[in-house]
């Protein structure tokens, strides 16, 4: 299991490095694919589908069937990423978000009582949670210095996860979320934040400061990575909470040793918009 997880992790890191380095359509298409899968994993976790399909279990036929709310979400994801990639218009992105909400209400009303209100809410939440939040990876990469700033997302998410795991394994004792995530320790959480801040500061000092000759940005980048690492851990715990609320172990089985897309990208989903907004506010 360890070696499977390690191999999968290495493949994911390589794909992430290549896609972030290339950017453009390659990154946009990868994020679109990840968003579509993550959206469906969340719908499955929330059981946001008609009662008849819920009772049919996990048959292949049921898995391939797309119901009304899901169709709205998929169409919205394609439209949203088209707006992100082809236009760059913030207004069009908001049109897509509001459009998905209104279309979901339309499906709810005109198919009543096929769906419960909670399922409609879960569907729209899933659209915001994964596809919209993940789009900030692309939006960060598309900024003027995005080719260099986008790496802060990996540092604050996967870098923080690695540091937290290492510190927790070595000295972790105090369990601070025993019901939500029994293996997480206070020491590990602090190590994850400190590790991300340190890596970010070093990256800023040795690389990013070349781009801002009139500014000292290493300290700012360390702060941004540390703050984002806090939110990264919140994102990880929130995704775990959803699984516990719905009595599932993993969101899927797509990634050997890791589970589904949501199991691996839960922290990056939260980190991406935080990095985008903090760098826009603090680094100019």
CA 135 remoteness from chain centre: 9
Residue 50: predicted pLDDT:
72
Plot region of 24 (φ>0 → left; ψ -120 to 50 → alpha; else → beta) = left
Domain boundary among 113, 142, 171: 142
One domain for residues 81 and 165: no
Residue 215: predicted pLDDT:
73
Is 152 among the domain residues?
A: yes
Residue 126: predicted pLDDT:
95
For residue 271, the tally of other CB atoms under 10 A from its CB is 35
Residue 9: predicted pLDDT:
77
Is 7 among the domain residues?
A: no
* pTM summary value: 0.90
Domain boundary among 93, 119, 142: 142
Q: Which domain holds residue 30?
A: 23-142
Buried b (16+ CB within 10 A) or exposed e, 198-231: bbbbebbbeebeeebeeeebbebbbbbbbbbbbb
Q: List the chain residues with pLDDT less than 70.
A: 1-3, 6, 51-65, 284
One domain for residues 84 and 186: no
Backbone angles phi, psi at 180, to 5 degrees: -90, -45
DSSP state letter for 176 = S
One domain for residues 58 and 116: yes
What whole-number distance in Å separates Cα of residue 64 and Cα of residue 55?
15
Instruction: For residue 91, count CB atoms less than 10 angstroms from its CB and return exposed for 0-12, middle for 13-18, buried for 19 or more.
Output: exposed
In 3-state terms, what secondary structure has residue 215?
coil
Domain boundary among 102, 118, 142: 142
The terminus-to-terminus CA distance of the chain in angstroms comes to 45
One domain for residues 76 and 163: no
What whole-number distance in Å separates Cα of residue 66 and Cα of residue 69?
8
Look up residue 128 and give its two tokens.
Answer: 């915001």
One domain for residues 204 and 265: yes
Residue 179: predicted pLDDT:
84
What whole-number distance in Å separates Cα of residue 135 and Cα of residue 223?
23
Residue 59: predicted pLDDT:
39
Residue 99: predicted pLDDT:
97
One domain for residues 259 and 273: yes
In 3-state terms, what secondary structure has residue 258?
coil
Is 11 among the domain residues?
A: no
Q: How many domains does the chain have?
A: 2
């Amino acid at each position: 299991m360890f070696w499977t997880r390690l191999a999968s992790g290495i493949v994911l890191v390589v794909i992430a490095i290549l896609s972030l380095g290339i950017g453009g359509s390659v990154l946009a298409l990868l994020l679109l694919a990840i968003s579509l899968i993550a959206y469906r994993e969340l719908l499955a976790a929330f059981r946001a589908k008609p009662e008849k399909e819920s009772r049919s279990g996990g048959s292949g036929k049921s898995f391939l069937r797309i119901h009304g709310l899901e169709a709205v979400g998929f169409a919205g994801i394609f439209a949203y990423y088209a707006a992100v990639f082809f236009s760059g218009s913030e207004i069009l992105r908001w049109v897509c978000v509001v459009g998905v909400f209104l279309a979901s209400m339309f499906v709810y009303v005109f198919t009543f009582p096929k769906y419960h209100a909670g399922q409609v809410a879960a569907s729209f939440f899933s659209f915001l949670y994964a596809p919209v939040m993940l789009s900030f990876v692309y939006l960060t990469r598309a900024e003027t210095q995005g080719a260099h700033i986008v790496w802060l997302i990996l540092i604050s998410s996967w870098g923080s996860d690695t540091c937290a795991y290492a510190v927790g394994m070595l000295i972790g004792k105090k369990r601070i979320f025993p019901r939500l995530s029994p293996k997480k320790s206070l020491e590990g959480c602090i190590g994850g934040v400190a590790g991300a801040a340190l890596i970010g500061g070093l990256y800023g000092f040795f690389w990013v400061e070349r781009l801002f000759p009139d500014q000292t940005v290493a300290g700012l980048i360390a702060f941004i990575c540390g703050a984002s690492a806090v939110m990264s851990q919140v994102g990880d715990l929130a995704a775990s909470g959803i699984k516990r609320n719905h009595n599932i172990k993993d969101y899927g089985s797509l990634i050997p040793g890791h589970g589904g897309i949501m199991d691996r990208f839960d922290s990056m989903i939260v980190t991406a918009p935080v990095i985008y907004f903090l760098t826009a506010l603090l680094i100019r």
